[in-house]
């Protein structure tokens, strides 16, 4: 493995934060301090880590970042009441509800209750609609981060065959739209594959770029790809290990079997993950610029 093959999300994120500094200063000159409130329900350890990481990064940039922690048995009506209060609180330009939610709370009801102008996750149906016609208000953070990594490393998708593995509303569907838009850096031909796709190798073996977001550790093997492919690995999977932690984090890509065939690849960790947080920061700043 050589560093020349690595698409570093950490390096790309640092470039993003550097570029955001002037925008933060410009907002400060107008007495606007971008603010984000995160609502966390329950005590899922991974969600708690994500929230702490997001909060730390926003505060390090001088932005307002606060969290509301709710018990896992909280009623849906109470969550919606809290979100409505945040919708009407001018110091928060962005509202983020950390997923997944407890089973008794309907995710779509929570998403729908967030004011579209404060939906920095880009999940509200109104914002999904704007994205689908190529005029996005807020782009979901992980797909936006993927596109920014490609741009940072001058990877032009024009005319490329792109396969997205996974069809979630968080990653798979929005990245399929972004990669195929008639816009600079995009213009690819995108195919969505998923758990019900038959003979998925027929699609992946002909792909110039593969974006995996299927949530299966080491799923994509070397014999499923062609030489020179670009791999974007969105997977974050815990696999049992005999180390001190008792687990290791791996992606959806079987690193050892693909590394000699790929031209470029995002590592896990250190690839798409840091960019998701960077794009959340950028979306919060964009919300302050547009609606602050």
Which one is catalytic: 54, 57, 118, 144? 54
- Catalytic-residue membership of 160: no
- Catalytic-residue membership of 115: no
- For the beta sheet containing 94-97, the strands, ordered from the edge strand earlier in sequence to the opposite edge, are 64-70, 35-41, 94-97
CA distances from 244 to 15, 133, 240, 248, 249 (A): 33, 48, 11, 10, 13
- Catalytic-residue membership of 221: no
Q: Which two tokens stand for residue 12?
A: 């790309």
Which one is catalytic: 118, 119, 121, 144? 121
Contacts for 71 with CB less than 8 Å, ≥ 6 apart: 41, 42
Which one is catalytic: 57, 98, 208, 252? 98
> Which residues are catalytically annotated?
54, 98, 121
């Amino acid at each position: 493995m050589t560093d020349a093959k690595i698409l570093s999300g950490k390096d790309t994120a640092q470039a993003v934060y550097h570029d955001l500094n002037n925008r933060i200063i410009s907002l400060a000159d107008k007495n606007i301090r971008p603010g984000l409130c995160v609502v966390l329900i329950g005590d899922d350890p991974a969600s708690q880590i994500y929230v702490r990481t997001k909060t730390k990064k926003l505060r390090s940039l001088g932005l307002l970042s606060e969290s509301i922690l709710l018990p896992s048995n909280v009623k849906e009506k109470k969550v919606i009441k809290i979100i409505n209060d945040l919708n009407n609180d001018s110091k928060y330009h962005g509202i983020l509800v950390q997923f997944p939610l407890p089973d008794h709370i309907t995710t779509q009801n929570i998403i729908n209750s967030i004011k579209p102008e404060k939906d920095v996750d880009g999940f509200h149906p109104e914002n999904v609609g704007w994205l689908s016609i190529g005029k996005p208000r807020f782009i979901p953070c992980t797909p936006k981060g993927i596109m920014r990594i490609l741009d940072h490393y001058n990877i032009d998708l024009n005319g490329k065959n792109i396969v997205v593995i996974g069809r979630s509303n968080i990653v798979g569907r929005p990245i399929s739209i972004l990669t195929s838009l008639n816009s600079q850096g995009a213009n690819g031909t995108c195919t969505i594959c998923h758990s019900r796709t038959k003979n998925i190798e027929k699609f992946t073996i002909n792909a110039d770029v593969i974006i995996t977001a299927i949530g299966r550790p080491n799923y994509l093997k070397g014999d499923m790809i062609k030489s020179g492919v670009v791999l974007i690995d969105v997977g974050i999977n815990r696999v049992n290990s005999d180390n001190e932690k008792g687990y290791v984090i791996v992606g959806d890509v079987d690193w050892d079997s693909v590394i000699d065939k790929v031209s470029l690849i995002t590592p896990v960790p250190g690839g798409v993950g840091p960019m998701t947080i960077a794009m959340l920061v950028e979306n919060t700043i964009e919300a302050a610029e547009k609606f602050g």
